[in-house]
C-alpha cells in the first residue's frame, strides 16, 4: 500500500482538508479521493491529490 495526500483549499488559500490515506495504486487512490470529497461535500472546492512520487492524481481549481 502507498500513502496518498488529499488537500482541499478555499479560494483565499485557507486549507479545509489535509488528509493522508492508503491505496494500492493511482487508480484506487483516485476513487478513494473522489469518495472522500463527495462525502465531505468538498468536490466544488480547489483540491489536489498527490501520489508518494508527487504525481497529481486528482486536481480541481
What are the structural domain ranges in the chain? 2-60
C-alpha torsion sign, points 14, 18, 35, 59: positive
Q: What is the pTM of this model?
A: 0.91
pLDDT at 28: 98
pLDDT at 39: 97
pLDDT at 47: 97
Q: How confident is the model at residue 31 (pLDDT cuts 50, 70, 90)?
A: very high
Determine the average pLDDT of the residues in 2-26.
Answer: 97
Amino acid at each position: 500500500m502507498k500513502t496518498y495526500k488529499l488537500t482541499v483549499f478555499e479560494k483565499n488559500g485557507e486549507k479545509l482538508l489535509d488528509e493522508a490515506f492508503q491505496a494500492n495504486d493511482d487508480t484506487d487512490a483516485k476513487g478513494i479521493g473522489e469518495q472522500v470529497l463527495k462525502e465531505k461535500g468538498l468536490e466544488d472546492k480547489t483540491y489536489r491529490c498527490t501520489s508518494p512520487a508527487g504525481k497529481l492524481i486528482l486536481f480541481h481549481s
